[in-house]
Amino acid sequence: MTLSLRGVGRRTPDAPDHWLFQNVDLQMDAGAFVAIRGESGRGKSTLLHLIAGLERKDAGQVLLCGQDMDSLDDNGRTLLRRQKIGFVFQAFHLLPQLSARENIALPWRLNALPHKDLPGRIAALAERLGITHRLEALPRELSGGEQQRVAVARALVHRPSLLLADEPTGSLDPERSEEVLSLLAALAAEAQAAVLMVTHSGRAASLAGQCLELRRSGLHPL
């Protein structure tokens, strides 16, 4: 099992007597493609962050590739996240001083994967995402849609087991959006990864195998 959430809950940051959400249960294997919707402020981004161990949870258990994140120390969690997870952040979070190419290369380098295979891997992803001609640009020289595609490439470069994508097509025109979605769908279809995507797009949701709504009481089928 790639991802298992059991009774996961998070309290509201400024009103800790209240739950932002609780009783979140989800099981995902390689090949699963799940879309999550929910009202703004319900905690969708928070849920993805806490799955990755980037924010705390207040209840429940997160198992990533069979490992309980809570049983690991900070180093162990960082290592597991680095190897197993790709994350497309809602606000991209590209490093401003690095070119698109160097941003995409980061997870590859952090995981000490073979240098000789990196150029080919970046070229293939860039081609697929239509950013080949922008690889030497700095993030501030890129449009929002280009930054988003660089963020998608960075999340995928090291072939993570779990892709967490927070509105990964939010800044893209319909054509680019379709390309990114088909790339994510192909990843899942080829069982290369489990894909968990937050989206407001009906098209995105329709491509996913399962569409769920995050409510205060947990995840509910749509």
Ligand X SMILES: Nc1ncnc2c1ncn2[C@@H]1O[C@H](COP(=O)(O)OP(=O)(O)OP(=O)(O)O)[C@@H](O)[C@H]1O
Pick from 42, 82, 93, 215 the residue near ligand X by CB under 6 A.
Answer: 42
Residue 40 binding ligand X, by CB under 6 A: yes
Pick from 45, 61, 83, 111 the residue near Mg ion by CB under 5 A.
Answer: 45
Q: Please, what is the minimum distance in Å from the beta carbon of residue 173 to ligand X?
A: 20
Q: Give the span between the Cα atoms of 142 and 14, in whole angstroms.
A: 36
Q: Please, what is the minimum distance in Å from the beta carbon of residue 111 to ligand X?
A: 28
Pick from 38, 107, 160, 170 the residue near ligand X by CB under 6 A.
Answer: 38
Q: Please, what is the minimum distance in Å from the beta carbon of residue 202 to ligand X?
A: 15
Nearer CB in complex with ligand X: 20/162: 20
Cβ contact 64:80 at 8 Å: yes
Residue 45 binding ligand X, by CB under 6 A: yes
The 10 Å Cβ neighbour count of residue 170 is 19
Percent of residues in the chain assigned helix, strand, coil, to nearest 5: 40, 25, 30
> Using CB under 5 A, which of the segments 71-79, 86-94, 150-158, 174-182 binds Mg ion?
86-94
What do you get for the CA distance between the two ends of the chain, in Å? Answer: 23
> Using CB under 6 A, which of the segments 40-48, 64-72, 76-84, 105-113 binds ligand X?
40-48
Nearer CB in complex with ligand X: 9/38: 38
What x/- string results for residues 78 through 117 when contact with ligand X is judged by CB under 6 A? ------------x---------------------------
Residue 93 binding Mg ion, by CB under 5 A: no
Whose tokens are 């995902």? That residue is 28
| Secondary structure letter of residue 132 according to DSSP | G
Residue from 94, 101, 87, 90 nearest 139 by CA:
94
Q: Please, what is the minimum distance in Å from the beta carbon of residue 12 to ligand X?
A: 7
Whose tokens are 């030497």? That residue is 136
Cβ contact 184:190 at 8 Å: no
* DSSP state letters, 80-123: HHHHHEEEE-TT----TTS-HHHHHHHHHHHTT--GGGHHHHHH
Nearer CB in complex with ligand X: 34/122: 34
Residue 57 binding ligand X, by CB under 6 A: no
| Secondary structure letter of residue 33 according to DSSP | E
Binding site for Mg ion (CB under 5 A): 44-45, 90
The binding site for ligand X (CB under 6 A) comprises 13, 20, 38, 40-46, 90
